[in-house]
Amino acid sequence: MKKPQTQPTKLTISYDEYLIKFRKLLVSLKLNNSTQREYVLKLFFECQEHLTADEVVLKLKQKFNITIGIATVYRILSFLEQMKIIKSLTLENETSKKYEINLKTHHDHLICNECGDVIEFYDSELERIQELIAQEKGFVLTNHHMILYGICEKCRR
Amino acid sequence: MKKPQTQPTKLTISYDEYLIKFRKLLVSLKLNNSTQREYVLKLFFECQEHLTADEVVLKLKQKFNITIGIATVYRILSFLEQMKIIKSLTLENETSKKYEINLKTHHDHLICNECGDVIEFYDSELERIQELIAQEKGFVLTNHHMILYGICEKCRR
DNA sequence: TTCCCTGCAAAGGATTTGCATACAA
DNA sequence: TTGTATGCAAATCCTTTGCAGGGAA
């Protein structure tokens, strides 16, 4: 059987365009803009990794040499998540939530237990089966969490 | 395409047999037995739900009228998880880990966002595809977490 | 001027740890 | 008797909240 697997594709948008959209969103919600919010957004845009709140503080210091209080970071993360600009995931054996920007098309994660490497993938067959299972049980799916854990090629050597 | 979906099956073993196995395990690890450990085991055996550490304390009081310190419960949960007697899962929007006994064959979860109802299912096609994806990326799978979230039939009315 | 946003520090919840005591073998 | 397990309280880690001051429109 042909397996229709693909890489998740990154939506092509520049940071400037992205920022304009973001500012419009804030206006439409009657919210103020702030340097802090824009820096966090910029960080996630540039560094497309999975970051914890602590790591956001750290990276902001490293990359832009600015300091934002951890409370503010948490508030911004919640806001961005509600707006679906970022999304969160909780990994096995890790205590704190990680966040990543939602620029890519929907995808799931494959993680190496040894080196922690994260591979993103999308598989339409998998998605289709999830829908079938849900249907069979009388559910309408809203979302799903799927993380595969294993050992990557490099670490097996 | 035929979808080979089944219910996860419960392994048929009595609590007495189970307890004997458990005691042997402790001996083989040169560990002492304790009333507390056996009660936690019994609880998970009898009440086949997903429980947090707090809920374990509560249920132990309700069902057996015994009190175990929360620290001990956490220590027992870690131990049982290491021994693969129970397994843990972290649900979306919940802060504390839940544990369930590992008596059933491998299965994943489908959860209603409204009523919190948990449906267990096993789908061999899904498992097969996960293996294929891992292979393609050069991974050897060790395990996976998959939780589907949706709204159940009852709650949609 | 009017809210919203931030930073600090304190509070909160979940989990872990140190230590003295109790218990199993 | 010896080492392990428990219970309590304190500590820790992550996250949230209250509040006073700073900033955006």
The gap between A3 CA and C14 C1' (Å) is 42
Is there a contact between A15 and A45 (Cβ–Cβ < 8 Å)?
Answer: yes
- Condensed to tens digits (0 to 9), the pLDDT of residues B17-75 reads 999 999 999 999 999 999 999 999 999 999 989 999 999 999 999 999 999 999 999 99
Range of the domain at A43: 15-156
Judge if the beta carbon of B12 is closer than 7 A to nucleic acid strand D: no
Nearest residue in chain B measured CA to CA from A124? B129
Check which CATH number belongs to the domain holding B56 and give it. 3.30.1490.190
Beta bridge partners of A26: none
What confidence score (pLDDT) does residue B11 get? 73
Kindly state whether residue A67 falls inside one of the protein's structural domains.
yes
CB contact under 8 A, B139 and A153: yes
Kindly list the residues from chain B whose CB atom is less than 8 angstroms away from the CB atom of residue A142: 113, 149-151
DSSP string, chain B: ----EEPPPBP---HHHHHHHHHHHHHHTT----HHHHHHHHHHHHS-S-B-HHHHHHHHHHHH-----HHHHHHHHHHHHHTTSEEEE--TT--S-EEEETTBPS-EEEEETTT--EEEEEEHHHHHHHHHHHHHTT-EEEEEEEEEEEE-HHHH-
CB contact under 8 A, B133 and A110: yes
pLDDT band at A4 (very low <50, low <70, confident <90, very high): low
CB contact under 8 A, B126 and A126: yes
What confidence score (pLDDT) does residue B54 get? 98
Distance of CA B47 to the CA centre of its chain: 11
Of the candidates B36, B72, B70, the one whose C-alpha atom is nearest the C-alpha of residue B55 is B70
A48 in reach of chain B (CB within 8 A): no
The gap between B36 CA and C19 C1' (Å) is 20
Structurally, chain A folds into a number of domains equal to 1
Which residues 67-96 of A have a C-beta within 8 angstroms of B? 90, 92
Residue nearest to nucleotide D24 (CA to C1'): A32
Report the predicted TM-score, pTM, of the whole model to 2 decimal places.
Answer: 0.90
> How far apart are the C-alpha atoms of B4 and B16, rounded to whole Å?
34
Kindly state whether residue B101 falls inside one of the protein's structural domains.
yes
CB atoms under 10 Å from CB of B92, counted, come to: 14
Task: Look up residue A1 and give its two tokens.
Answer: 């059987």
Given a cut of 70, is residue B2 above it in pLDDT?
Answer: no
Beta bridge partners of B112: B150
pLDDT band at B5 (very low <50, low <70, confident <90, very high): low
Given a cut of 90, is residue B9 above it in pLDDT?
Answer: no
- Condensed to tens digits (0 to 9), the pLDDT of residues A23-52 reads 999 999 999 999 999 999 999 999 989 999
Kindly state whether residue B60 falls inside one of the protein's structural domains.
yes
What confidence score (pLDDT) does residue B123 get? 95
Kindly state whether residue A1 falls inside one of the protein's structural domains.
no
